[in-house]
Amino acid sequence: MKEVVADTNVLVSALLTAPPSPPRIFLTKVVDGELRLVLSPRLLLEIVSVFSRPKLRLLIPESKISDLVTLLHQSARIVKPAFSIKACRDPKDDVVLESAIAGKVSAIITGDEDLLALNPFRGTLPILTPAEFLSSLKSR
């Protein structure tokens, strides 16, 4: 099973868009057990914090947010980065890189241009949009 780090924006998009949007298809693969998310405690805290914002609570039903948080707690592999990374032009995105390196994942999935600009990170770690990632799965 492929293990990946998904940036918070992918999870938000997955809950805001209808199938067959790439973020929704990606999340379905996670729910179905075809993919496993890897998170650090800091990244999990960021996800919960973002979904707690009043604007998102108006757009996304509480039950969907609750189901996602439960899924993350039950099925994600939690890693503890051994060191900090300072590589992204937006420093708050470094937590995504730290989680990916600590988890030795096969890819980072994001819609964030600050992270996508680093593709491939350290020359080997793919940083892909949900559409690019799904396309890469089909080509194998």
Q: Quick: pLDDT tens for 118-135.
A: 999 999 999 999 999 999
E-state strands within 31-128: 35-39, 77-78, 107-109, 127-128
CATH of the domain at 49: 3.40.50.1010
Band the pLDDT of 136: cuts 50, 70, 90. very high
Distance CA 63, CA 82 (A): 34
The count of other CB atoms within 10 Å of the CB of residue 1 is 7
Q: Residue 14 belongs to what H/E stretch?
A: helix 8-16
The residue segments making up the domain with residue 132 are 2-138
CB-neighbour burial class of residue 126 (10 A; exposed 0-12, middle 13-18, buried 19+): middle
In the numeric block, the tokens 């919960």 are attached to: 48
pTM: 0.95
pLDDT digits (tens, 9 = 90+) for 6-35: 999 999 999 999 889 999 999 999 999 999
By percentage, how much of the chain surpasses pLDDT 90? Answer: 91
Q: Looking at the 3D structure of the chain, how many domains does it have?
A: 1
First-to-last C-alpha distance (Å) of the chain: 13
